[in-house]
Amino acid sequence: MDELRRLYARMGIEKEIYEYGEAVLKRLVPRFQEIDETAEYNQLKVVGAMQECQVSEACLLGTTGYGYNDLGRDRLEEVYAHVFRTEDALVRPQITCGTHALALALMSNLRPGDELLSPVGKPYDTLEEVIGIRPSRGSLAEYGISYRQVELLPDGGFDYEGIRNAINEKTRLVTIQRSKGYQTRPTLSVERIGELISFVKSVKPDVICMVDNCYGEFVEIQEPGEVGADMVVGSLIKNPGGGLAPIGGYIAGKKECVENAAYRLTSPGLGKEVGASLGVLKDFYQGLFLAPSVTAAALKGALFAANLYEPLGYAVVPDARESRHDIIQAITFGSPEGVIAFCQGIQAAAPVDSHVTPEPWDMPGYDAPVIMAAGAFVAGSSIELSADGPIKPPYAVYFQGGLTWQHAKLGILSSLQSVVGRGLADREALRRISGL
Ligand SMILES: *Cc1c(COP(=O)(O)O)cnc(C)c1O
């Protein structure tokens, strides 16, 4: 469509970049179809849950103050329990982020003297302080909860022998991170998580298995609660908030685990009974309703990015062909300039703050300057188109999100335009591949 091409050109995407993108997209038709089928399944799952729980107009209103008898909040938690196939759920705006949800799940279900085990290597950065791997005020370590970790095998497999040896009489909770986060290990499929949980329970049946589900929701048709997870935990400003939730986290799981979390979030004796939903319920419901298709849009973006950059000689994880279990795409540029150009290109395509130019800066908690691109409606939301990269070898960027596929596509083309515009990519290769 010439009109479309002209509009891309007016928005700064040269013909050469656009044509290359179209050539890449032609090959992705069957993969996009698979993603759409998953979204269709999950859309039915979500709508079905809302219908079974009889979500009504009154559920969309909120409460203030103590929040007693908050019909919409309680019903939403039932809907989450249905969607994640668990006994119960805690879904609250008072859970401020993913780290908070995970910390809450851990702190409420562990007691002094217990031990926590990660059988999948190092957990997400922010959990290091929650656990006390890096000494930190208020950590689990300060409360006398010890921690062990078993690395994945070099091929990404589980070290079953190591895990068996690490489980002891103190082991109370096992934490399994589904997404690779900002590491280069593969993301775990729900099926593999199920195998790991079965193994752990065969060694010690009463261990609580928790899955950090961040970035994994609705990427597959199954969720970890269906393969034996006792708690499934995540952030509402990632996949399940569908881009609309302005804050929040969830813990879905066994009734006892969820109640423990509720008594810790509010207070012993109060639990789930308090916690006003204020005005967020409509966005929580509508965001969950949109989440399957928003996740599909983000997945298409990640797949497109991998297939756009890999032929140009950049290492991409996951690679262009492998199956996907989360929405994160890593692209290695090998130079600070590449990382910066990519992030600036993503920012330039944002609906909000497209006119600002991100620069690397020394963020607290990181050991190298980091550049972040985010022009989001919800601050820091990473289900919206966003990217960040630490300015240190191997000079990789981590890219995720996109509320619509069309916007993800624009953002990725804009990133390539920025990289090519600075002479950092091979224009000849690009022409050759698109047959120009
Ligand atoms: C994002 C994320 C977290 C932490 O969530 P925040 O909302 O950033 O606190 C934890 N684990 C994984 C795998 C994540 O992707």
- The pLDDT, as a whole number, for residue 368 is 86
- Distance, CA of 237 to CA of 297 (rounded, Å): 15
- Give yes or no for a contact between 204 and 174, defined as CB atoms under 8 angstroms apart: no
- What pLDDT, in 10s, does the model give residues 359-394? 999 887 677 899 999 899 999 999 999 999 999 999
- What pLDDT, in 10s, does the model give residues 28-60? 999 999 999 999 999 999 999 999 999 999 999
How many A from CA of 425 to the centre of ligand 1?
A: 32
DSSP-assigned beta bridge partners for residue 388: 372, 398
pLDDT at 347 over 90: yes
- The pLDDT, as a whole number, for residue 350 is 96
Average pLDDT, integer, range 166-195: 93
How big is the chain by its Cα radius of gyration, in Å? 22
Sign for the CA dihedral angle at 287, 104, 120, 306 comes to positive
Residue with tokens 């469509």: 1
Residue 67: name the closest of 339, 274, 308 by CA: 274
CB of 214 within 6 A of ligand 1: the answer is yes
Give the neighbor-by-neighbor strand order of the sheet with 386-390: 315-317, 329-332, 396-400, 386-390, 370-374
CB of 86 within 6 A of ligand 1: the answer is no
pLDDT at 159 over 70: yes
Determine if the peptide bond prior to 93 is cis (ω within 30°): no
Q: What percent of the chain has pLDDT over 90?
A: 92
CA distances from 407 to 47, 94, 300, 386 (A): 25, 31, 11, 11
Which residue's CA lies nearest to atom 7 of ligand 1? 98
How many A from CA of 217 to the centre of ligand 1?
A: 13
CB of 179 within 6 A of ligand 1: the answer is yes
- Give yes or no for a contact between 414 and 346, defined as CB atoms under 8 angstroms apart: yes
Pocket test for ligand 1, best of 214, 231, 383, 398 (most atoms within 8 A of CB): 214
CB-based contacts of 56, cutoff 8 Å, min separation 6: none
- Give yes or no for a contact between 86 and 49, defined as CB atoms under 8 angstroms apart: no
Is 433 or 392 the better-scoring residue by pLDDT? 392
DSSP character at residue 207: P
pLDDT at 87 over 80: yes
- Angle CA(71)–CA(75)–CA(81) in degrees, nearest 5? 155
For the CA of 237, the nearest atom of ligand 1: 7
Tokens at 106, concatenated: 């851990």
- Distance, CA of 252 to CA of 59 (rounded, Å): 20
- Give yes or no for a contact between 116 and 173, defined as CB atoms under 8 angstroms apart: yes
Neighbours of 286 (CB within 10 A): 16
The SS3 of residue 54 is coil
How many A from CA of 233 to the centre of ligand 1?
A: 10
How many A from CA of 214 to the centre of ligand 1?
A: 6
- What pLDDT, in 10s, does the model give residues 273-291? 999 999 999 999 999 999 9
Neighbours of 404 (CB within 10 A): 16
pLDDT at 182 over 80: no
Residue 351: name the closest of 326, 376, 318 by CA: 376
How many A from CA of 347 to the centre of ligand 1?
A: 21
For the CA of 102, the nearest atom of ligand 1: 10
CB of 130 within 6 A of ligand 1: the answer is no
Pocket test for ligand 1, best of 212, 251, 327, 399 (most atoms within 8 A of CB): 212
Average pLDDT, integer, range 324-348: 96
pLDDT at 180 over 90: no
Mean pLDDT taken over the chain? 95
Residue with tokens 């996009």: 32
For the CA of 179, the nearest atom of ligand 1: 13
CB contact burial 359-393 (16+ within 10 A = b; e otherwise): ebeeeeeeeeebbbbbbbebeebbbbbbbbbbbee
pLDDT at 293 over 80: yes
CB of 181 within 6 A of ligand 1: the answer is yes
- Identity at 54, one-letter amino acid code: Q
pLDDT at 432 over 90: no
- The pLDDT, as a whole number, for residue 365 is 63
Pocket test for ligand 1, best of 231, 232, 235 (most atoms within 8 A of CB): 235
- Give yes or no for a contact between 97 and 237, defined as CB atoms under 8 angstroms apart: yes
Alpha helices in 13-66 (DSSP H): 15-26, 29-52
- The pLDDT, as a whole number, for residue 185 is 81
Global pTM value:
0.96
For the CA of 235, the nearest atom of ligand 1: 7
How many A from CA of 315 to the centre of ligand 1?
A: 24
Pocket test for ligand 1, best of 96, 118, 124 (most atoms within 8 A of CB): 124
How many A from CA of 179 to the centre of ligand 1?
A: 9
Tokens at 316, concatenated: 């991409």
pLDDT at 428 over 90: no
Average pLDDT, integer, range 187-192: 95
- Distance, CA of 10 to CA of 414 (rounded, Å): 12
pLDDT at 184 over 80: no
**Which regions of 10-97 does DSSP assign to beta strands (E)?**
88-92
Average pLDDT, integer, range 203-231: 98
Residue 289: name the closest of 31, 35, 96, 60 by CA: 60
- Distance, CA of 422 to CA of 426 (rounded, Å): 11
- Give yes or no for a contact between 420 and 314, defined as CB atoms under 8 angstroms apart: no
How many A from CA of 238 to the centre of ligand 1?
A: 9
Count Cβ atoms within 10 A of the Cβ of residue 69 and give its class: 0-12 exposed, 13-18 middle, 19 or more buried.
exposed
How many A from CA of 183 to the centre of ligand 1?
A: 13
- Identity at 284, one-letter amino acid code: F
Alpha helices in 61-124 (DSSP H): 71-83, 98-109
Per mean pLDDT, which range of 29-33, 50-54, 264-268, 429-433 is the poorest?
429-433
- The pLDDT, as a whole number, for residue 436 is 62
For the CA of 382, the nearest atom of ligand 1: 1
The SS3 of residue 274 is coil
Which residue's CA lies nearest to atom 6 of ligand 1? 98
